[in-house]
Amino acid sequence: MPMEKQYNHIKYEAGIYALWEKANAFAPQEVNKKNLKKSKKSFSIIMPPPNANEDLHIGHARFVAIEDILIRHARMKGLATLWLPGADHAGIETQYVFEKKLKEQGKSRFDYEREDLYKMLWDYVHKYKDSMYDQLKRLGASCDWSREKFTLDPEIIAIVKQTFKSLYDEGMVYRDEQLVNYCPNCGTSFSELEIDYVERDDLMYYLDYGTVTIATTRPETIFADVAIAVNPQDSRYKKLIGKKATIPLINRQIPIIKDSAVDKKLGTGALKVTPAHDPTDFEIRKRHNLPTVSVIDSEGKMINTPPEYIGLRVADARRKVVSMLKDRGVLIKEVPIRHAVATCYKCKNTIEPMISKQWFIKVKPLTKDALLAIRKKQVKFAKDKYKKIAVHWLKNLKDWNISRQIVWGIQIPAWRCDQCMEWVVTAGETPNKCPNCKASSFTQETDTFDTWFSSSQWPFATLMTTGKNDFKRFYPTSVMETAYDILPFWVIRMIMLGLYKTKNVPFNNVLIHGLVRDKNGQKISKSKGNVINPLVMVDKYGADALRMGLIWGTLIENDISLSEENIRGQRNFANKLWNVARFVSLNQSQLKAMSRAPRSQNKNDHAIIKKLRRTAKIIDKEIENYRLNQAAENLYNFIWKDFANDYLESTKSRRSKAQPTLEYILSESIKMAHPFMPFITEAIWQNLYGNSQKPLIFQSWPK
């Protein structure tokens, strides 16, 4: 049956993927060379698990293109190759999108019991997970679905809890007061990532504290003041240090202290220290061992104040305090200012920093080992700039708050004895007896782990639980490939926890890719209306064209500007390859796949064979160095210019004599193109050699 004039991706793609799955082509093959080092006979990538709460976006498509090229190339080179797929429960993110859905139905999470909410989220996420996996398949991802993992699989949870327990047992976990970003409206705290800083016009109030004048935008918190701080270099206040100031309205005496966190130029240069309701002040309080007074409760109402303010909402309390201050003559002036205010990214209300108890991990010992592993090149960064960023983060990482006040996640395996209030940490089971007071009644911590705490254990947690001896075979993995925005959250913590748990690095190489931007280099966002839906592009131009477009012309580590014109150009390239195959197979009843060059050669035959070998070597080298753009360009030029335009044209006058060389160059070209454009190359292969050969995915890379 002759090939069509144009390659029709719609007709082939689904069937090709099914063919690979049926042939079990994604499972790591056996390599029986005992004398080789592990790194020479295996190649593995753990997929960065996408959030199971959304459709794949174009950024996911980029990592699929990159990782699948590396994987397919390694597979064709004869290595035992594993690409392990997975999905992330994405704690806060998922709960946020889910609550939006609830809101559309006029409900909120407070309408449900913890267990019911968890169950609903579970179902929601599993629906998305399945469709997300289908989308990965449509992009041609050759990952081993029999090893698929979800971050909330029971066996993963067990490992995560075990890690927490051993950290706790070794004294690397502690509980401490932390100023959390609390939204009184939503009833939860948020991480820094979930805070929007919004510019707002407010008033700065100058207040008379007796010995000094201070400036504040939050006069309602004066009841929570515990000190006045000035910069040690500030000559205006030097003689006041150690003296007292007086809080107006309640006439409480507080000390005047020095702290370099105070900016001389802001306000009056004298700062009222309110540790319970301000992050800077909280830090100052730690350095000077000051007490804390909380005057705002979790509903955003005043507490611990003179009776006339108790129960007022913050804004009302502010008005009342200001008017009282005016009456007493201690309000010196009001100055309008524009400043950034922390607001909730969900409901847009003002965030109230509040003190609460949280679980922390001491990071110093972990970062020390991670830095050492990077210095000793046990973990290599493909690009130096990302190594610099990783090292910078590792050197500056603060102790890690791993507790979150949400339901959607792994509940922290810590129980508080109802009798003596001491904490008991287990690997998951409810404790029987309190080791402290022998009581047997406990209440479990309701907080869940930060998503990054579990995903930082992903490489070993996945490989340890496939039931296939994979940890021994594939750990550490060859390459960790992911986007740069999660380098500090994820990559460095995987190194930290991998070293902690396994005494070995989790991966040998780190490959970081940039974002996908639109054709003008603009960041892609819904509000800008420049969203590129990868599946729409797959429908329109084929998965192969999209994959090529996602690596074409730009280095992996840089942001790529993707245009539909570019994808169309790659579709044209795919069609060119198709037609080369069509030409070679026309008038030819039976083709043989040849992996050796045929005998009879003239000068042109000789030249193209030489060029083919050189190109295969160049592509090898470029892939090894992660310069996929260069690899793709060499492939493109070889097939289009050298093969089609020059060599193939030259054979038209001597068709029958050149036929063996044509067939040889064709089959080898298809092999070289396969990692980049898996569908069309397999479609051609099946058309030409499907009856006599194993699928292309199993074939060896040209030598």
* Interaction between residue 319 and RNA (CB under 7 A): no
* Interaction between residue 118 and RNA (CB under 7 A): no
- Supply angle C-alpha 442, 448, 454, rounded to 5: 125
* Interaction between residue 280 and RNA (CB under 7 A): yes
Q: Which letter does DSSP use for residue 49 in this model? A: P
Q: Which of residues 649-668 bind RNA (CB under 7 A)?
A: 649, 652
Name every residue whose Cβ is closer than 8 Å to that of residue 313 and which is 6 or more positions away in sequence. Answer: 300, 301, 302
Choice between 327 and 485, CB closer to RNA: 485
Choice between 36 and 335, CB closer to RNA: 335
Place of tokens 């254990």: 457
Choice between 283 and 445, CB closer to RNA: 283
Q: Are 257 and 288 in contact (CB under 8 A)?
A: yes
DSSP string, 420-484: T--EEE-SSSPPSS-TTT----EEE---EE-HHHHHTTHHHHHHHTSSSSHHHHHPSEEEEEEEG
Say how far apart CA 413 and CA 409 lie, in whole Å: 12
Helix (DSSP H) and strand (DSSP E) numbers for the chain: 22, 25
Q: Which of residues 182-201 bind RNA (CB under 7 A)?
A: 192-193, 197
Number of residues that bind RNA (CB under 7 A): 74
Q: Are 570 and 553 in contact (CB under 8 A)?
A: no
**Cβ at position 684, least distance to RNA in Å:** 12
Residue 698 corresponds to which amino acid? F
Q: Which of residues 137-166 bind RNA (CB under 7 A)?
A: none
Q: Which of residues 508-527 bind RNA (CB under 7 A)?
A: 517, 519-521, 523
**Cβ at position 15, least distance to RNA in Å:** 19
Please select the residue that binds RNA; options are 164, 583, 685, 701, rule is CB under 7 A: 583
**Binding marks (x or -) toward RNA, 598..637, rule CB under 7 A?**
------------------------x--x-x-xx--x--x-
Q: Are 14 and 137 in contact (CB under 8 A)?
A: no
Say how far apart CA 591 and CA 1 lie, in whole Å: 12
Please select the residue that binds RNA; options are 51, 457, 465, 575, rule is CB under 7 A: 575
Choice between 606 and 641, CB closer to RNA: 641
DSSP string, 350-363: BPEEEEEEEEEE--
Q: Which of residues 364-393 bind RNA (CB under 7 A)?
A: 384-385, 388-389, 392
Per CB under 7 A, the segment of 35-43, 250-258, 343-351, 547-555 that binds RNA is 547-555
* Interaction between residue 339 and RNA (CB under 7 A): yes
* Interaction between residue 253 and RNA (CB under 7 A): no
Please select the residue that binds RNA; options are 152, 382, 648, 677, rule is CB under 7 A: 648
* Interaction between residue 579 and RNA (CB under 7 A): yes
Choice between 92 and 574, CB closer to RNA: 574
Please select the residue that binds RNA; options are 94, 554, 667, 699, rule is CB under 7 A: 554
Tokens of 605: 């035959």
In terms of Cβ atoms closer than 10 Å to its own Cβ (0-12, 13-18, 19+), residue 111 is exposed
Per CB under 7 A, the segment of 215-223, 438-446, 588-596, 607-615 that binds RNA is 215-223
Per CB under 7 A, the segment of 140-148, 149-157, 416-424, 556-564 that binds RNA is 556-564
DSSP string, 130-189: HHHHHHHHHTT----GGG-EETT-HHHHHHHHHHHHHHHHTT-EEEEEEEEEEETTTTEE
* Interaction between residue 271 and RNA (CB under 7 A): yes
Distance from the first to the final alpha carbon of the chain = 31
Q: Which of residues 459-488 bind RNA (CB under 7 A)?
A: 485, 488
